[in-house]
Structure 1
Amino acid sequence: MCSLKTKRKAHYPPYVLWVSALLLFIPIVVTSLGRPANPSLLRLISSYRILSRTKLINSAASLSGKQHNKGFQENEPDQQLSSSPEAKPSAVHGYYYSNGTLDQVSHVTAAAAIVAHPPSPLMENEEHADKSDGKEKLLRGNGTREVVASDAVNNDKIERRVEAILAKARSAIREASSARNGSNMISSHQDPDYVPQGPIYHNANAFHRSYLEMERVFKMYVYSEGEPPIFHNGPCRSIYSTEGRFIHQMEKGNLFRTNDPEEALVYFLPFSVVVMVQYLHIPGAHDMHPIGRTVADYISLISSSHPFWNRSLGADHLMLSCHDWGPYSTTYVPNLFNNSIRVLCNANTSEGFNPRKDVSLPEINLKTGEITGLIGGPSPSRRSVLAFFAGGLHGHIRQVLLDQWKDRDPDILVYDKLPSSSGKSYESMLRNSRFCLCPSGYEVASPRIVEAIYAECVPVLISDGYIAPFSDVLNWKAFSVMVDVKEIGNLKKILMGISGSQYVRMQRRVKQVQRHFVINGPPKRFDLFHMIVHSIWLRRLNLRVHARR
């Protein structure tokens, strides 16, 4: 399990900064005079930039007596954990096939012609909302994203092999999705971790079959280029722990990792935006260029060292980030932004998050690095508080919530900071509440939804443009409440309108869905790690790469 000890950030001696600046400046000057056509020189320059940044960090750490490649200290969040939760979850990003219809919607990216079919989630109903443009649309059909690559050399054989694997999986999922209490259903006798039927899933049969197909054929390759701490490393505790946990799990190896790149269906770019911000960003400055440049250099390095990026124009490549700047870090490489699978905590459609190809990553604040003591809560009858929120004044949605409900109603407890006079901890307040309010902060990502699920408190999502995690599988309306920002003033009326029996059902479903958000070491089937991998699998299942002929 990810068990790195936290260390405080080193202070760089002035001469280290000057030397490192010179190391970074030389290759930039060389490339600004005209990027060399020689691929070997391109690789050398890209790796030199990356190595220069890494050496700066390692030498500074060494001079200060710290070993940053063994961990680092995150900025401590406030007592209530900075929040930016989820808005209306949409099942727009499911990638299952419930019929054979493929209604094509064509659009062109910077480097590839992509044919995107409206995705069809694991839903009983084919209609679903697409919020990729910030507005709801009703779409029908199945989701296969097609990328026409620019280089067809030696790709035909690989294309046929990969497509045969995916076609077989699609067929099995399509068959399972149409099963209704028949012989095609998988039982608990066949699978000890059986996913039961129930309203928390859009289509439990299709999800279970998809999961089994993932376990059977899905493989990911992790690029070896780059050195810690920026690459192959990440935070194991703090508000960004989901990022580090996934990176470390992929580094350790698991069922889905392969050392044979020709066997892989997806290629993982193992950089950490959190670490880049930690070491490459100057606090108080607005210049994010070093972060974007590092990502661009890394893509340049792997694309000139391996054939896989160019073969698909990055469409079967994966990056993962839980930092607010994760989406921004991809804008320096158009194919990464437009084509690649981006797994992001900041899953905001207004900032370019595309649920057809991107994955919403749950944000979990692990202060101690463990979830011990965070799971579980009392029964509904022992929860005396109707609704609870405590957190800093971050963003306009929280401002509205605090303006309308702070110190206004004994049933709706809203604080900018939990008063010490209450005599209760933040965690105990979650467990004592029936509903846990999850308003967005500056960004949409927040650990509050997972905190609520851990405490078995029904989450209330208040956000704009947020895509909730695993929405292609999970029916969030069955176990959470979604409130428009304009309806914040009616919050009590909305919550009081939920009957006692309905609440009991919702709270029971929160307990059922909990397994999908739990971090285990080592990972267990259907837990958080496997749900993230499954979301990636769905996007790859939805992708068809063609060589241009």
Structure 2
Amino acid sequence: MQRWRDVKLERLERGLAKARSAIMEAIQNRDNRPPLVDKDYVPVGPIYRNAYAFHRSYLEMEKVLKVYVYEEGEPPVFHDGPCRSIYSTEGRFIYNMEMDTRMRTRDPDLAHIFFLPFSVVKMVKTIYEPDSHDMGPIKRTISDYIGVLSGKYPYWNRSLGADHFMLSCHDWGPYVSSGNEHLFSNSIRVLCNANKSEGFNPSKDVSLPEINLRTDAVDRQVGGPSASHRPILAFFADGNHGPVRPVLFEHWKGRTEEHPDVQVSEYLPRGVSYTEQMRRSRFCLCPGGYEVASPRLAEAIYLECVPVVVDDGDYALPFADVLNWDAFSLRLRVADVPRLREVLAAVSPRQYIRMQRRVRAVRRHFMVHGGPPRRYDAFHMILHSVWLRRLNVRIAVRITAQQ
């Protein structure tokens, strides 16, 4: 009788173990070593929880990580997604992952992580019956897809999905992921709707930034003036929906005569530029709508307006494993909305200038480029978040007996 072990999986796990050790050593960095060398960018400063450890982890990801994209499934539901809409991070990631030549592998035996390339947005458009409120067909589609993969390949079954990830920017992403119990409980779910009160698990799941792209020329839509050229203290304009915005409107809508530096309104008058209003504002309010995520977070960062997240702590902020959000943003609890102006006015000019400078520095991590992705941009930061969670998974190497 021969005893057979999965040598390829053993090799993969050994490589991940070495990466873990390198990152743990960087986290400790007891010798206070100087920053690592990098031809493109060296992470430093307070925008990071631990800049040195992040840099080491990122370099280890580039050196080690291999992603397998399942080829099963047909567009538009699979291998496709929206690239110019409020859901654009879903489509852009799918497209860039399909096109990637550095970290994508065509050999699943070499993969550390497996991507399930379905688009919930496309499913809603093609499978969901409008106004039915029935997510069943979408859940069954996902369940059937995983059934095909688990029947054809050994990879899902050996980890019960723990080394697999899905990605969705649609509000329904968390709910339709329950179409398979292991996808919901074990797999890495990369979600814009990263609501901790609704089952989002920050230790396993990834918060996906919601970026509303209308054009490929993103580089032309960034930047803004200094604090001295921003007369508006706080700005927000959009529809009155969800649990947070009604509170914001109740206390601050229509109070510009009393407080002209607080501009809160339902939509803007014709001819008033939303982008220019953000550029004229020091703080940009980012309350969620029906769900916790808001595209204003990325828009504020693009336009160098310090973001103010208005919620009660249920939103797991993007890239929070490595980014120190307290250094470049504010978080306002809903109960403190009546004190909004008081809280923001208490930020000294010197402190604000530091925060705005940090917003400018962190912007590279939220950038989406018209051409191929660039190092440290949103695509690579999403992958890095997935990489960190894959490092937390150790897949047991089974030994089988053969006659």
Normalised by the length of structure 2, the TM-score is: 0.94
1:459 is aligned, of 284, 303, 307, to 307
Match of 2:222 in 1: 375
Spell out the pairing of 1:143-292 with structure 2 (5 A cutoff).
Answer: 156-179=6-29, 182-183=32-33, 185-187=34-36, 190-292=37-139
Structure 2 equivalent of residue 306 of structure 1: 153
Count of residue pairs the alignment pairs up: 392
The residue number in structure 2 matching 1:523 is: 373
SS in 2 for 1:330: helix
Q: Does 1:428 align with 2:276?
A: yes
Deviation of the 1:276 alpha carbon? 0.1
Correspondent of 1:399 among 246, 252, 261 = 246
Shift of 1:219: 0.4
Counterparts of 2:178 and 2:165, CA distance in 1: 14
In the TM superposition, what whole-angstrom CA distance separates every residue of 1:151-189 from its partner, at most 9, and x where no partner exists? xx9554344222211111111111112226744x334xx
Shift, 1:530, TM fit: 0.6
Following superposition, the deviation at residue 547 of structure 1 comes to 4.8
C-alpha separation in 2, matches of 1:241 and 1:318: 18
Match of 2:344 in 1: 495
Deviation at 1:367, TM superposition (A): 1.7
Q: Provide the C-alpha distance between the structure 1 equivalents of 2:298 and 2:137, rounded to a whole number of angstroms.
A: 32
1:48 alignment partner in structure 2: none
Shift of 1:410: 1.3
1:412 to 262, 278, 303: 262
The answer to whether structure 1 residue 349 and structure 2 residue 196 are counterparts is yes
CA distance in 2, matches of 1:314, 1:155: 20
Q: How does 1:435-474 map to 2 (within 5 A)?
A: 435-464=283-312, 465-474=314-323
Write out per-residue CA displacement over residues 57-86 of structure 1, whole angstroms, 9 at most, x where no aligned residue: xxxxxxxxxxxxxxxxxxxxxxxxxxxxxx
Deviations 1:393-435 (A, max 9, x none): 1112000000100012212100111123xx4300000000000
Give the deviation of 1:463 after TM superposition: 1.7
Contact 1:155–1:311 (8 Å) recurs in 2: no
Superposed counterparts of 1:6-85, under 5 Å: none
CA shift for structure 1 position 193: 2.2
Deviation of 1:487 after TM superposition, in Å, equals 0.6
Note the C-alpha offset of 1:253: 2.4
**Residue 373 of structure 1: CA displacement?**
2.6
2:114 maps to a residue whose letter is Y
**Relative to 1, partners in 2 of residues 1:155 and 1:426: Cα closer, same or farther, differing over 3 Å?**
farther
Aligned to 2:395: 545
Confirm or deny: 8 A CA contact 2:6 2:398 kept in the other structure. no
**How far apart are the structure 2 equivalents of 1:340 and 1:355?**
12
For structure 1, the 5+ residue unaligned runs are 1-152
Amino acid aligned to 1:492: R
Q: Distance in 1 between matches of 2:5 and 2:145?
A: 24
Superposed CA deviations along residues 271-304 of structure 1, whole A, max 9, x for unmatched, are 0000000111111111111110100000000000
Whichever residue aligns with residue 195 of structure 1, its letter is V
Q: Structure 1 residues 154 and 531 mapped into 2: Cα distance closer, same or farther (>3 Å)?
A: farther
RMSD: 1.4
Q: How does 1:113-152 map to 2 (within 5 A)?
A: none
Question: Which whole-Å CA distance do the structure 1 matches of 2:110 and 2:35 have between them?
Answer: 28
Alpha-carbon contact 2:48-2:322 (below 8 Å) kept: yes
Query: Normalising by the residue count of structure 1, what TM-score does the alignment of the two structures yield?
Result: 0.70
Which secondary structure does the structure 2 equivalent of 1:436 belong to?
strand
Specify which of 389, 400, 403 is matched with residue 236 of structure 2: 389
Q: Which amino acid counterpart does residue 275 of structure 2 have in structure 1?
A: E
- Counterpart residue number, 2:327: 478
Amino acid at match of 1:486: A
Q: Any conservation in 2 of the 1:238–1:369 contact (CA below 8 Å)?
A: no
Q: Deviations over 1:362-404 (max 9, x none)?
A: 0010123441431100011100100000000111200000010
SS of residue paired to 2:307? strand
**Cα offset, 1:196, TM superposition:** 3.5
